[in-house]
Homo-oligomer: A and B are copies of this chain.
Amino acid sequence: MKRIRVFAPGTIANIGCGFDVMGLALDGVGDVVELTLFDNKDEMAEESCNCIYKADACSLCIKNSSNVKLPADPAENVITPAIVKMCQAYSARQERPCHLHIGVEIQQKIRPGSGIGSSAAASASAVYALNAILDNAFSQEELVDFAMEGEKLISGTPHADNVAPAIIGGVVFIRGYNPTDLIKLPVPDNFYCTVVHPHITVSTKEAREILPKAVERKDAIIQWGNVGGFVAGLLMNDLDLLGRSVKDVIAEPYRKGFIPGYDDLKEKLLSNGMIGVNIAGSGPSVFALSKSEEEAELARNIMEEHFSSLNIEREVYVNKVGKQGARVL
């Protein structure tokens, strides 16, 4: 058997303006999985596993030893479709079809529904781990494609704005799909992201369904102006331009309703020097970008105070924007 432990970071999708096309990796928070490739089914059977998921190219056993509750049925775990798709692709590349026996132990887990890419960190860490064991048989783009199967399970749409930065790190821009076209943007050294996760449950699906299917053309134009500004801001190392671009006329107006006192919180953060504030992914987490650790800590205090005054439990993470994505531990 071969065994490996992998970390994949939490991520902020959209980053204010890049709905479905952009995400960033956080530096300190993420999932840890230990993945085992067994030599055969007997070896796999020796490990106690309640429930083995069988597909044509693999048998998969997922154990959760994190302190976060996850669905018991492997068919409902995002890791499953990602690993199944990857095994199918691997099998198809061999001279004759093969069947892999895989065990995944989830050892550390971002709380689901937090808006910092909990599902993406899970599927990203699993596919990254399997790829490492398979001598990097697949490219980063292919891993992103596999991991997106997990996002499809959760939200109904395969999107890469969390899984791509979870795998690749930094700020990743997804130009398009079929094939997946990823651009890793440069990240300045002093680029901080403070994230608050208020304990309000909003599912990705619910957060997507609240959005209208069509966008006024004038709003779409505002949005792609900001997308271009954000990309240019990073590539030109102009964080003020980037900050001016962290604006969202597509999702924020609808999703902020899930977050008590959102407008006040945002105003307070911006007037205290944060360069950009918005909803992390589909929410309910809120992020603030800043240029120093002091400002990032100030954002933490403002966020703590805001939700404390509303009697809402929360966690706050202060992170640099992580240059690294998934990695072997």
Contacts and interface: CB of A to CB of B under 8 A. Distances in A.
A244 interface: yes
Nearest to A221: B20
A179 to B, nearest CB: 10
A232 B235 contact: yes
Given A214-B214, A214-B217, A217-B213, A183 B222 contact: no
A2 B186 CA distance: 49
A223 B220 contact: yes
The quantity of this chain's copies bound in the complex is 2
Which of the listed residues A175, A181, A217 has the most CB atoms from chain B within 10 Å of its own CB?
Answer: A175
A268 to B, nearest CB: 23
A228 B181 contact: no
Contact of A232 (B20, B173, B244, B245): B173
Interface in A15-55: 18-22
B175 A228 contact: yes
Contacts of A19: 221, 224
A156 interface: no
A21 B174 CA distance: 19
Interface in A215-234: 215-217, 220-232
Given A175-B245, A245-B175, A21 B217 contact: no
Nearest to A22: B228
A259 interface: no
A134 interface: no
A66 to B, nearest CB: 33
A203 to B, nearest CB: 19
A152 to B, nearest CB: 15
Interface string A198-212: 000000000000011
Contacts of A220: 215, 220, 223-224, 250
A236 interface: yes
A70 B222 CA distance: 33
Contacts of A228: 18, 21-22, 173, 175, 183, 227-228, 230-231
B18 A244 contact: no
Contacts of A223: 220, 224
A287 B173 CA distance: 27
A176 interface: yes
Contacts of A217: 211-215, 250
Contact of A21 (B181, B224, B231, B241): B224
Interface of A: 18-22, 173-176, 181, 183, 185, 211-217, 220-232, 235-236, 241, 244-245, 250
Closest 6 CB pairs between A and B? A175-B229, A235-B235, A224-B224, A214-B214, A224-B227, A220-B220
25 contacts: A18-B224, A19-B221, A20-B225, A21-B221, A21-B228, A173-B225, A173-B228, A175-B228, A175-B229, A176-B229, A181-B244, A183-B229, A185-B232, A211-B217, A213-B216, A214-B216, A215-B217, A215-B220, A220-B223, A220-B250, A224-B224, A228-B228, A228-B230, A235-B235, A235-B236
